[in-house]
Amino acid sequence: MPFSLHSHSGQFCEHATGNLEEIVQEAIKKKFLIYGLSEHCPRNRVQDLYPEESHLQPSDLSKTFSEFIIEACRLQEKYKSHIKLIVGLETENITDSTTTEMLDLISKYKLEYIVGSVHHVHETPIDFDEKTFEIALSKSSSYDDNSYSPEESLFLSYFDSQYQMLQHLKPIVVGHFDVIRIYRPKFLLTNLIWKKIERNIDFIINYGGLFEINSAGFKYFTDAYPLRDILKLIIQKGGKFTISDDSHGPLKVGQNYDQLYNYLKEFNIDTLHYLDYDDDDENEIDEIDEIIIKDKEEKGDLGSGRKIVIKEMRNVLKHSFWNQFL
């Protein structure tokens, strides 16, 4: 569909490419009408810097994020007649203080939405590379003082961390729900892990969040995130979906949307949701029903002067947007 709510650029992220304006221009070229600019939030400890950031300090990340907000707002205005840009961030959940840090950023920059993601377990990255994943795994010898395999312990800790993030932030968009599977694609989820997954799904549905179907998953799997077993459970429970390319450069805008179309078609997902402003009807998309969030504080209005609403698009598989990818 003509939207994606999760993206990054090399201008503000060391493991991405291109500058933010190039990302926006490519999104316009590919006929996106809604595009989310959701740079990674800054990390505040030296030990949380990635290897690619070894030449930086946490203060540099904070400065970079400030520059991202300024540039995103400039582009939002510059290209407003061509595309709606929604400005937010992608979360972390590394330590007990992370939630406070996220809320401070939301308030300081009047962010319009957040993508709620978890990239660390035991204060160690789990989706950056296999080396750091193995370090996280080595710290997972037990869970709750019981004997579990390192893999099961790591997965349990991941979904607990995700649940903590969900409780504290209630993100409108939940990013790559099961990214923990990236380096253990064949690991069989145990009954206890499934209980954690179901708990998290129920919580997201209850507060009105959107499950992101993330096309970047096709880089590692035959599925997008969430993988099909979890996707089926979300469908069964009546969860609401949005889609994202999780682009990390201009060439990644709309990445794998051909496979994404087939994924949606396979599971008969013909209704999707996206974010928009309720005070601006320009470039209105056909065949939508607007669902305004009833309680903006509870549902994630992040303090900007422009209220974010969730909108519904039906008959998505018939939309002409897909033709360029098929």
Task: Please tell me the distance from the alpha carbon of residue 318 to that of residue 170, in angstroms, as a whole number.
Answer: 32
Cβ neighbours, 10 Å, residue 321: 18
| The dihedral formed by the CA atoms of 73, 78, 84 and 85, expressed in degrees to the nearest 10 | -30
CA 254 to chain centre: 15
Q: Look up residue 226 and give its two tokens.
A: 């969430």
Q: Domain coordinates of the chain in residue numbers?
A: 3-324
> Whose CA is closest to 90, among 46, 37, 53?
37
Asked if the peptide bond before residue 51 counts as cis, ω within 30 degrees of 0, the response is: no
For the chain, first and last CA: distance in Å?
13
Pure H helices in the chain: 20-29, 58-78, 98-109, 130-138, 150-169, 191-207, 228-237, 257-266, 296-299
> Whose CA is closest to 155, among 98, 196, 115?
196
Helix axes 228-237, 191-207, angle to 10 degrees: 50
Right CATH number for 3-324 from 3.30.450.20, 3.20.20.140, 3.40.50.2300, 3.40.50.150? Answer: 3.20.20.140
Task: Please tell me the distance from the alpha carbon of residue 25 to that of residue 95, in angstroms, as a whole number.
Answer: 36
Task: Please tell me the distance from the alpha carbon of residue 212 to that of residue 121, in angstroms, as a whole number.
Answer: 21
Burial of residue 203 (CB within 10 Å: 0-12, 13-18, 19+) is middle
Tokens 């096709």, residue?
218
Task: Please tell me the distance from the alpha carbon of residue 238 to that of residue 211, in angstroms, as a whole number.
Answer: 11
Task: Please tell me the distance from the alpha carbon of residue 219 to that of residue 179, in angstroms, as a whole number.
Answer: 12
Task: Please tell me the distance from the alpha carbon of residue 245 to that of residue 260, in angstroms, as a whole number.
Answer: 9
Cβ neighbours, 10 Å, residue 301: 17
Per-residue pLDDT of the chain (326 residues; tens, 9 = 90+): 799 999 999 999 999 999 999 999 999 999 999 999 999 999 999 999 999 999 999 999 999 999 999 999 999 999 999 999 999 999 999 999 998 999 999 989 999 999 999 999 999 999 999 999 999 999 997 777 778 899 999 999 999 999 999 999 999 999 999 999 999 999 999 999 999 999 999 999 999 999 999 999 999 999 999 999 999 999 999 999 999 999 999 999 999 999 999 999 999 999 999 999 876 544 444 433 333 333 333 333 333 457 889 999 999 999 999 999 99
Containing H/E element for 271? strand 271-277
pLDDT at 302: 34
Task: Please tell me the distance from the alpha carbon of residue 226 to that of residue 79, in angstroms, as a whole number.
Answer: 32
This prediction has a pTM of 0.91
- DSSP string of 117-177? ---EETTEESSS-HHHHHHHHHT-S-BTTB---HHHHHHHHHHHHHHHHHHHH--SEE--T
pLDDT at 307: 80
